[in-house]
Structure formats: C-alpha cells, structure tokens
C-alpha cells in the first residue's frame, strides 16, 4: 500500500482540486484534507496496540468505513453550518481516496490480507488491482520489528515513485490556480 507520504500528497492534491477557485491556501482546511486522507491507516496503530498487525487493511479500508466517516462529519457540520450532505460527500470521498490508492497498490501487496475490501460491508471480497502503480510498503511482521522493518531500499523506492507521480501534479495545479485566480487576491 502507498506510504503515508503518498497519502499526504494525495490529500494535498485533493485539496487543490476541490479548492481550485481560491489561490489562497487555508492551512486549517488543507490540514483536514491531509488528516482524513491518512486516517484509515489508524488501523495499523490499533493493530500494534492489540499486537495483531494483520488488523491493518481490514474494516477501516472499506466503503463502509468511508460512509461512516462521512456520516460523522456530516453530523458535526450540520450542527455548525447545516452542511450535512456536503460534509458527508467530502469526508466520505477523502476517506475513500485512501482506500482507492491502496487498491491501486494492491498488485504489489505483500501482506495478508491481499488486496482491499473495497465494498465491505456489501461484499467481503478483497480486490487486487491488475497493474502495479504504487509499490507496497514493507514493514516488520511483529510489534518488535514493525518500525525497523520499514527502513529499507524498497520503501525508499516506493516513496520516490509516489513523489514522481504526485509532485508534478501538485506543482502544475498550484501554478494553474495561482495564474488563473491569483491576480484577484
């Protein structure tokens, strides 16, 4: 699955896409986009705490979890601004973007369960993308080796691929937004 860096970069790119009509960056809003794009990997921390690293890529990496995250965000936003549907769609989409990126990396998946439960709870099937786009991130197989297992050439190469794929898009979109809307500031 992509590294946290890949998920952070996708959050930045999604922020730019959804806020493309404003050349001023709202740092708080950007931070929310990035956090929601990364949050499904909280299951890795939970797996570490319960000493079961296979907990990763389960329920938190699914359509059901994205819908739940959207419902929570919608409820919070309806109380503040009456924006339930907008909040639901945005947060569900950001959350599910993480799942989609993991699906795009699933061809190189090296850890069980293989693939992503894209449509859980409607389907228990794990789906594997047929082509390698992103590399899987290797890590240790136990709590003792989890972090030391992450520092290797394969993971460095995986992060480099993510940077090559995302940074040009982020830079081009930033340039386009600033050129088109920056003069209005």
Residue 158 token pair: 């995986």
pLDDT tens sequence across 123-166: 999 999 999 888 887 776 666 656 666 678 888 999 999 999 99
Give bridge partners of residue 116 from the DSSP assignment.
Answer: 127
Rounded distance between C-alpha atoms, residue 21 and residue 36, angstroms: 21
Q: 3-state SS string over the chain?
A: CCCHHHHHHHHHHHHHHHCCCCCCCCHHHHHHHHHHHHHHHHHHHHHHHCCCHHHCCCCCCCHHHHHHHHHHHHHHHHHHCCCHHHHHHHHHHHHHHHHHHHHHCHHHCCCCCCCECCCCCCCCCCECCCCCCCCCCCCCCCCCCCCHHHCCHHHHHHHHHHHHHHHHHHHHHHHHHHHHHHHHC
pLDDT of residue 142: 62
- Quick check: 61 pLDDT over 70? yes
Radius of gyration over alpha carbons of the chain, in Å? 17
Tell whether the model's pLDDT for residue 107 goes beyond 80: no
The span from the CA of 181 to the CA of 185, in Å, is 8
Choose among 126, 119, 154, 6: nearest CA to 54. Answer: 126
Total-model pTM: 0.85
Q: What percent of the chain has pLDDT over 90?
A: 42
Q: Among 23-27, 37-41, 127-131, 140-144, which stretch is predicted with the lowest mean pLDDT?
A: 140-144
Cβ(178)–Cβ(23) below 8 Å: yes
């Amino acid at each position: 699955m992509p590294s946290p860096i890949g998920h952070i970069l996708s959050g930045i790119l999604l922020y730019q896409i959804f806020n493309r009509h404003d050349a001023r960056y709202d740092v708080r809003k950007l931070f929310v986009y990035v956090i929601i794009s990364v949050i499904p990997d909280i299951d890795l921390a939970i797996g570490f705490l319960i000493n079961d690293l296979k907990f990763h890529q389960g329920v938190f990496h699914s359509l059901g979890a994205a819908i739940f995250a959207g419902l929570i965000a919608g409820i919070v936003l309806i109380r503040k601004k009456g924006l339930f549907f907008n909040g639901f769609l945005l947060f569900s989409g950001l959350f599910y973007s993480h799942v989609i990126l993991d699906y795009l990396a699933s061809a190189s998946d090296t850890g069980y369960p293989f693939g992503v439960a894209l449509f859980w709870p409607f389907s228990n099937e794990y789906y594997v993308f047929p082509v390698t786009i992103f590399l899987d991130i290797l890590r240790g197989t136990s709590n003792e080796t989890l972090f030391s297992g992450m520092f290797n050439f394969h993971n460095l190469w995986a992060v480099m691929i993510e940077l090559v794929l995302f940074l040009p898009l982020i830079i081009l979109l930033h340039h386009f937004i600033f050129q088109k809307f920056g003069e209005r500031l």
